[in-house]
Amino acid sequence: MQIKTGVLLVNLGTPEAPTSAAVKRYLAEFLSDPRVVDVSRALWLPLLHGVILPLRSPRVAKLYQAIWTDEGSPLMVYSRRQQAGLQARLPHLPVELAMSYGKPALAQAVQRLYDAGIGNILVLPLYPQYSCSTSAAVFDAVAAFFANRRDVPSLSFRRDYAGHPAYISALCQSIRRSFTQHGEPDRLLFSFHGIPQRYADEGDDYPQRCRLTTQAVAIALGLSNDRYLMTYQSRFGREPWLTPYTDKTIASLPAQGVKHLQVVCPGFASDCLETLEEIQVQNRDIFLEAGGERFEYIPALNDDEAHIEMLAQLVLEMLPPA
């Protein structure tokens, strides 16, 4: 009997609505994961629920309101389009979408594949660069689902695709379109989501994976070293995170003669709060207020045809030999 194969696409997640209550539920789940914040539960959880969530949720809800669309959260909209595009590209494989936090819940998506008799699950986290705080959290959740079950299917887990030729090609196509539309900037800045420096010191190779992507794109585009920069954004809390920081770097560029800046965020498979609000709004304002003249954010790959084709290639590479 032939074993049925299915695909599990996983992204981080998003609140169900741009309201304080919905944001609070989402952040409570997200920030309670030890993979995300690994300090003592006894110390962290009272601080999270007693101080951070009550103060942070209303403020973050206002930011979500600024980017929310008629279809909903941009991350969810684009993730659904990616799921639909991949399903159309691979009609013989059922494709389920899951979020590590929020809905559609990962456990429910795996349950649907399990109930459909899928004996081989291909797990594809939508994180181009591995980190213990993202890809490993997906691994943990899938393993936890099957921890107490007698019947466990075959599992294939894609750690990341930081240097995959189809991914680099899709990024280059997107960047070239921006160059054609807006002209080539004085600098191209690659901004990745940050992680605590301590995680990297303890073995997370995320910085190396980000550098791999950046260097591969720069080489493919023929950019000299003085034409591009790599930084880290979205730091949270007081401990040191990976540097250089995106906002501080952007603030310093106009004084160095950079008047035209374009920013790409290759670590995000879908546009979301961190790209549409933090980069396109906050960091644009920082650049212009510091004396910059032109700023363009290059959108995430989202449901771009080259992105869907790349995801299909990743899935096909994960299939077992016929």
Residues that constitute the known binding site: 193, 274
Owner of token pair 């690994």: 38
Contact 217, 171 (CB under 8 A): yes
- Among 50, 87, 52, 286, which residue's Cα sits nearest to residue 191? 286
71: left (phi over 0), alpha (psi -120 to 50) or beta: alpha
User: Which neighbouring-strand residues pair with 122?
Assistant: 7, 156
What's the distance, CA 255 to chain centroid?
31
Binding site members for Fe(2+): 193, 274
Q: How far is CA 57 from CA 11, 23, 27, 90, 281, in A?
A: 21, 6, 8, 39, 19
Read off the tokens for 50. 């007693």
User: Which neighbouring-strand residues pair with 193?
Assistant: 233
Q: How far apart are CA 76 and CA 15, in angstroms?
A: 9
SS3 assignment for 154-212: EEEECCCCCCCHHHHHHHHHHHHHHHHHHCCCCEEEEEEECCEHHHHHCCCCHHHHHHH
Q: How far apart are CA 120 and CA 111, in angstroms?
A: 13
Phi, psi (degrees; rounded to nearest 5) at 42:
-65, -30
Q: What is the number of other CB atoms lying within 10 angstroms of the CB of residue 234?
A: 20
